Structure formats: structure tokens, C-alpha cells
Structure 1
Amino acid sequence: MTAVQERTWTTVCRLEELLPGRGVAALLPDGEQVAVFRTHDGLHVLSNHDPFSCAAVLSRGIVGDRGGVPVVVSPVYKQAFELATGRCVDDAAVAVATYPVEVWDGYVRVGSP
């Protein structure tokens, strides 16, 4: 039998405070910085750490799409990361962590193991 790991949910902000097409940074209890994005198709949460510049800047990136796939483009070296998977569109060997997200009673909550 395998142990079930409980997920910890962190309340980040009210949903209405997130502007569509923009990101915000949030700090999880374990010290991890995440980038929360609201797009026309929902909410997405990625690590805020840009693996190319080693800076916590993805929340300040430009939200758009590449071939119809929603992405955020890092403000430093301009690599694009898929919002749904964290995969780098410009370098398939690189990805950033993604996190589960939910709206609970009007508040955005980010899950971590």
C-alpha cells in the first residue's frame, strides 16, 4: 500500500484581484516562489524561477501564445514557457514546475505537496 501525501493549500489572493493576462508572484509556506497567471481559459501557476537567468521573474513576464498555446515569456532572456505544463517552448530539455490551483469561496489557492 502506498502512502497518500496530503496537499497543502495556500490562499494567495482574491480572484477579482488578478488582472487577466498578467501575473503575480506569491510565496508558499515552504519558501517557494510561484507565479500566478489569470488568462481567458483559467488560472495557471508556475515556479517564479527562470532557469535561464536564475532570477525570480516569470510573474513579470509577458503572457501570450505560441501557435495557440498559452505561454509566459521571461522578461530576461525571452524564453517562452507553456502555462499548462511549464515546458520551455524554446528548449524542450527545460521546464519549470507547475502547481495545482483552485478557486475556493472567491479566493485563489495554490497547492503544494
Structure 2
Amino acid sequence: MHRDLQLNQWNAVCPLDRIVPDTGVCALLNGRQVAVFRIGAESPDLFAIDNYDPNSQAAVLSRGLVGSIGERVVVASPIYKQHFDLRTGECLEAPHNSVSSYPVRVQDGQVWVGA
């Protein structure tokens, strides 16, 4: 569930090579903390969701462990271990505590997030 976005509002986050494969980083975009994840090394998939975990009420999702549950690419919150789908932001254990997801792109080696 992407937030209502104006697709012309892209924000530079960092160079792609600054995100270690299979980890996340936190970026402050328009006053909101966003967790940006790089999955894979050679042709990475990039995802962005809110950094705030509503289950623990802490801004920690960028520090979670990434993996998969079935076909879903997820991050496990480092506090209570709930899993968030990196494509949609859905919290698998508590869907009412899902977070927003955002479009991500790479241009000239720079990671950009729509917000």
C-alpha cells in the first residue's frame, strides 16, 4: 500500500554502494523516518517502508533482519520480531499494525525514494 504520492517528489537517500547487501538504512524524508533495504548484491532489489514499528512504538525497522517467508521478502523487527512485508508494509502477525511502503529507484548509482 503505497502512500498517496506525487511521483515527481523523489528524494535522494545515498549512493547504492553505501547500503550493505541484505541490510537496511534509515533516511529522514520530509520529516518522516523511512527504512530503505537492499536485497541482493549484483542486481539488488530495493524496498522502502516506514521505519517506525507500531508494535514496539520505536523507530527500529531499518535495523531488523531481512529474509523471506514463503514468497514474501520481509524484515523482522529487532524488538518483538514481527515480520513486515517489504513490498507492501503489511505486518504478517498483526495486519492492523502495518506500515506504509514507498517506491524506490536507482539512478546514476544513487538511491531515490518517492515520498
Same fold by TM-score greater than 0.5? yes
Match of 2:45 in 1: 42
Number of residue pairs aligned between Structure 1 and Structure 2: 108
- Structure 2: distance between partners of 1:101 and 1:73: 20
Residues 4-23 of structure 1 aligned to structure 2 (within 5 Å): 5=6, 7-23=8-24
Residue 69 of structure 1 deviates from its aligned partner by: 1.3
Kept in 1: contact 2:7–2:114 (CA 8 A): no
* Secondary structure at the counterpart of residue 95 of structure 2: coil
RMSD: 1.5
Residue 6 of structure 1 deviates from its aligned partner by: 5.3
Residue 49 of structure 1 deviates from its aligned partner by: 0.3
- Structure 2: distance between partners of 1:97 and 1:72: 14
- Among all aligned residue pairs of Structure 1 and Structure 2, give the percentage whose two residues are the same amino acid: 51
Residue 43 of structure 1 deviates from its aligned partner by: 0.0
- Structure 2: distance between partners of 1:48 and 1:13: 16
- Kindly provide the amino acid, as one letter, of the partner of residue 50 in structure 2: S
Match of 1:52 in 2: 55
Task: State whether structure 2 residue 86 is matched by structure 1 residue 86.
Answer: no
TM-score by length of structure 1 reads 0.89
* Secondary structure at the counterpart of residue 13 of structure 2: strand
Structure 2: stretches of 5+ with no match in the other structure: none
Moved >6 Å (runs of 4+)? none
Structure 1: stretches of 5+ with no match in the other structure: none
More divergent stretch after superposition (74-83 vs 88-97): 88-97
